[in-house]
Amino acid sequence: MPQTPPFSAMFDSSGYNRNLYQSAEDSCGGLYYHDNNLLSGSLEALIQHLVPNVDYYPDRTYIFTFLLSSRLFMHPYELMAKVCHLCVEHQRLSDPDGDKNQIRKIAPKILQLLTEWTETFPYDFRDERMMRNLKDLAHRIASGEEQTYRKNVQQMMQGLIRKLAALSQYEEVLAKISSTSTDRLTVLKTKPQSIQRDIITVCSDPYTLAQQLTHVELERLNYIGPEEFVQAFVQKDPLDNDKSCYSERKKTRNLEAYVEWFNRLSYLVATEICMPVKKKHRARMIEYFIDVARECFNIGNFNSLMAIISGMNMSPVSRLKKTWAKVKTAKFDILEHQMDPSSNFYNYRTALRGAAQRSLTAHSSREKLYLASYESEGPENHIEKDRWKSLRSSLLGRV
């Protein structure tokens, strides 16, 4: 964790810079450094290290790392309460007779810390206790004489509210999609197969379908908070009777929704391949999904690529020996090689690095990663744009 010590901790009373001549592990204020890099510290010392003062503002790497990992030891609302206490009491924000010049210097730094917190971990503020502490500290900053502070506080709060509102809308959409897919399963069981439309009828162009899959992937990935990865792998100690350590911590299910999307896409591929009665139609469907997977690879959408390959490797599909005999599998073999799990997915990681590099130097739309949402970008032709939206709705309904 790269981190420069606080300015006051770098010099002793004689002005001697200890870090300039000492590379061994060093301790200052409960924090332990090695070669000017923060290694560890007590929880209280790390919290104090998070709070800025007149001469110091924490490194952004430290802010992110500590806000992410601290939730393993305390709830975010508890950390926010401690940060607010340190800001109000130690920086004398509550003192009307305090040094106006000092408050003028420290207020922007505290506001910057709060802004980074709300932008990086907005879901923490779904907790009313978090929001209450944030509003209280923001009010103290905005109540000063500087009009700029009030404007910045207002912008911060508006940005946070927009993010939380977008999350709520997204969760409603997920619930609606889940309900729709259940209804579709009922229809599939009752509707005659002869009047059901397959995916090729809905979208005959593999490249277009790969684009739409990429839009869905990026939309769902965008809502996953970094804290969800930590929470997903935290295992509660069975001997730990303190239920408060892990209760009320899960505020979102976006990571689980992303995993469910992967599984549903895999089952969609397997279902679409198995539905046709004739071998030649099944072979055509396999070749179609191979082309979709190849376009996903070219775009850089490796998650959909992996889901498609997983669906084609499911036993109901892989056992169709006579169908596979009619398929040209050269392209599929190449894609499988790219997703080979050996050596910790070495081929996949290499391809991912190459795709990231290509996206930085891309010039044409076919080379770029499709980061735009349907509402913000797409065809300029409104009829074509409506067709894209209809295709996306149909795709989500099928999945």
pLDDT tens-place string over residues 314-367: 999 999 999 999 999 898 999 888 888 888 888 888 888 887 777 676 665 555
| Residue 291 to residue 320: CA distance in whole angstroms | 19
Torsions phi, psi of 32, nearest 5?
A: -115, 125
For residue 126, give the DSSP letter.
G
- The CA distance from 202 to 205, in Å, is 9
Structure tokens at 276: 């046709």
Integer CA distances (angstroms), 213 to 180, 207, 217, 376, 388, in order:
18, 10, 6, 17, 11
**Closest to 397 in 3D by CA, of 180, 205, 90, 157:** 180
DSSP helix/strand/coil, 266: helix
**How far is Cα 154 from Cα 157, in angstroms, rounded to an integer?**
5
- Pairing, β 31-34 against β 37-41: antiparallel
pLDDT of residue 46: 93
Q: Extract the tokens encoding 211.
A: 């684009």
What mean pLDDT, rounded, does the chain reach?
79
* CA–CA separation, 18 and 24 (whole Å): 10
Domain 42-162 has CATH 1.20.870: yes
Q: Which tokens sit at 267?
A: 């089952």
- pTM for this model (two decimals): 0.74
Cα-Cα end-to-end distance for the chain: 42
Task: Name the CATH code of domain 192-232+252-398 (choices 1.10.10.10, 1.10.357.10, 3.40.50.720, 1.10.840.10).
Answer: 1.10.840.10
> Which tens digit of pLDDT belongs to each residue from 84-110?
999 887 656 555 555 667 777 888 999
The full set of domain ranges for the chain reads 42-162, 192-232+252-398
Q: How far apart are CA 351 and CA 5, in angstroms?
A: 39
Check residue 1 and give its pLDDT: 47
Q: How far apart are CA 139 and CA 158, in angstroms?
A: 14
Render pLDDT for 110-165 as a digit per residue (tens, 0 to 9). Answer: 999 999 999 999 999 999 999 999 999 998 888 766 677 888 999 999 999 999 99
What CA dihedral angle connects 311, 314, 316 and 317, to 10 degrees?
60
